């Protein structure tokens, strides 16, 4: 009896070991894929023209703006961004300046020509989950996530894409789960699904264009399960250029 049982036990142990090792390998693979995603070279500075269209129930809101960004939280730098609205006419000239520190807190200022004054907007981690100018993107979706805030698992690989699930390690990350579809060649995401309360909340789709040595987004869209969609078309990308001192109130008011 022992002779027959022992090999079974050994086989079961081997299977368990194999499954355990396999699952460990998958988790590492997910982490590795996302590590490469986060380490895709990014421009030191970037400026671009953006046309944002928010559509819901057949009506649309179009806004045109130019943005300048510099800094990278991942490198311990403060990320700074200036947005200057150029259309529609009633908001033309309005400007938005934000500085995101490594700890996630932000300082924001908004220039409104009609009021003739710069307004400081609230800061704090919770604002990251607020809508980006009433769009389907949150500020966090725009500014990006921090690699170490999530644990990753590889869901599969198909058609030259890795599917990776990212689950927040702590609460307050805005989502319950994020599923990335990562291009196996470029390690850039071309689709991201955001889940909350067990339901798909919204889907982001990205396409890229070559700008200097970098691949930068040319179109970034976010479709919410509630039916609204925001499409940001990006053009005139300029990378690694010196802007001069644009991240200040004086430039905001110009």
Partner 1 sequence: MREFWGGLLRRSWLVVAVFAAATALMLVGAGRIEMDSSADAINPEHNAIVELNDAINKEFNSGRTEVFVLYADDVFAPERLAAIREITAELESVAGVLKVTSLANMTKMVERDGVLEASDMVPEGEIGPRDVADIKGYVASNFMLKSGLLTTQDGAATLVIVEFEDSADLPSIVAAMERPVRDHWAGKYDLAGIPSLESYLLATLHRDLPLLGGIALAIIVGLFLLNYRSLLGAALPVLQILVGLVWGAGGFGWLGLKFQQLTIIAPVAILAVGSSFTIHLLGRYFLELSRGTPKREAILRVLDHTGIGVLVSGAAITASIMTFQLSSLAMIRGLGVFIAAGVFSCMLSSLFLLPAILDLAPEPKVRVDMEASPILSRGLRRLGDWTTRYPKRIAAVAAAILAVSAFGITRIVPNTALVAFFRADSPVILGMNAVNRTFHGSTTAKVLVSGDLKDPELLQSMLDFQEAARSIRGVGCSTSIASLVRSIHETLTGEAALPKTEAGVAQELLVYQASGASLDDITSLSNLGYSEGIVNFIVPRLSTPETKALFDRLGALAKACFGSRAEVKFAGDVLSETALEEVLIHDFVVSLTLALILVILIDSLIRSVRAALVTITVLVSTIILQYGVLGLTGSAFNMATALVGALAIGVGDYAIHLTVRYMEDRRSGLSPEDSVKLALLTSGRSIFYTALTIGGGFVALTFSRLVPVATLGRIMVMTVVIVGAASLTLLPAACVLFLRNPIKSHLEVKEDE
- Binding residues for partner 1, rule: CB under 8 A, are 54-61, 85, 88-91, 94, 96, 108, 110, 112-115, 119-123, 126-127, 130-131, 133-136, 197, 226, 228
Instruction: List, in order, residues 6 or more apart from 43 with CB less than 8 Å away.
Output: 211, 212, 214, 216, 239, 240
CB closer to partner 1 out of 172 and 212: 172
CB closer to partner 1 out of 75 and 253: 253
CB closer to partner 1 out of 128 and 163: 128
Looking at the DSSP bridge assignments, the partners of residue 179 are 165, 193
CB closer to partner 1 out of 40 and 92: 92
Structure-block tokens of residue 37: 């995603």
What is d(CA 153, CA 169) in angstroms, rounded to the nearest whole number?
13
Under a CB-based contact definition with an 8 Å cutoff, are residues 27 and 153 in contact? Answer: yes
Least distance from partner 1 to the Cβ atom of residue 112, Å? 4
Query: Residue 170 CB: number of other CB atoms within 10 A?
Result: 7
What is d(CA 26, CA 49) in angstroms, rounded to the nearest whole number?
40
Least distance from partner 1 to the Cβ atom of residue 174, Å? 13
CB closer to partner 1 out of 93 and 144: 93
What is d(CA 70, CA 48) in angstroms, rounded to the nearest whole number?
12
Under a CB-based contact definition with an 8 Å cutoff, are residues 136 and 229 in contact? Answer: yes
Closest CA to 211 of 244, 235, 191, 178: 235
What is d(CA 172, CA 141) in angstroms, rounded to the nearest whole number?
14
CB closer to partner 1 out of 23 and 248: 248
Least distance from partner 1 to the Cβ atom of residue 77, Å? 24
């Amino acid at each position: 009896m022992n002779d027959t049982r022992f090999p079974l036990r050994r086989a079961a142990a081997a299977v368990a070991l194999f499954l355990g090792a396999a699952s460990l390998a998958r988790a590492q693979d997910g982490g590795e894929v996302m590590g490469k995603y986060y380490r895709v070279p990014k421009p030191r500075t970037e400026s671009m023209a953006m046309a944002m269209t928010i559509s819901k129930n057949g009506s649309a809101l179009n806004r045109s703006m130019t943005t300048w960004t510099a800094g990278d939280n991942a490198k311990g730098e403060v990320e700074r961004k200036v947005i200057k609205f150029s259309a529609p006419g009633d908001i033309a000239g309005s400007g938005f300046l934000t500085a995101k520190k490594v700890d996630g807190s932000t300082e924001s200022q908004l220039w409104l020509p009609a009021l003739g004054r710069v307004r400081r907007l609230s800061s704090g981690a919770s604002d990251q989950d607020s809508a980006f100018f009433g769009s389907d993107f949150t500020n966090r979706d725009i500014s990006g996530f921090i690699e170490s805030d999530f644990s990753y698992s590889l869901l599969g690989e198909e058609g030259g894409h890795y599917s990776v699930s990212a689950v927040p390690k702590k609460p307050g990350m805005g989502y319950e789960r994020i599923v990335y579809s990562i291009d196996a060649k470029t390690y850039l995401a071309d689709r991201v699904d955001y889940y909350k309360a067990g339901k798909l909340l919204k889907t982001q789709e990205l396409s890229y264009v070559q700008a200097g040595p970098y691949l930068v987004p040319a179109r970034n869209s976010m479709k919410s399960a509630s039916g609204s969609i925001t499409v940001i078309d990006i053009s005139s990308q300029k990378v690694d250029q010196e802007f001069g001192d644009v991240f200040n109130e004086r430039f905001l008011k110009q």
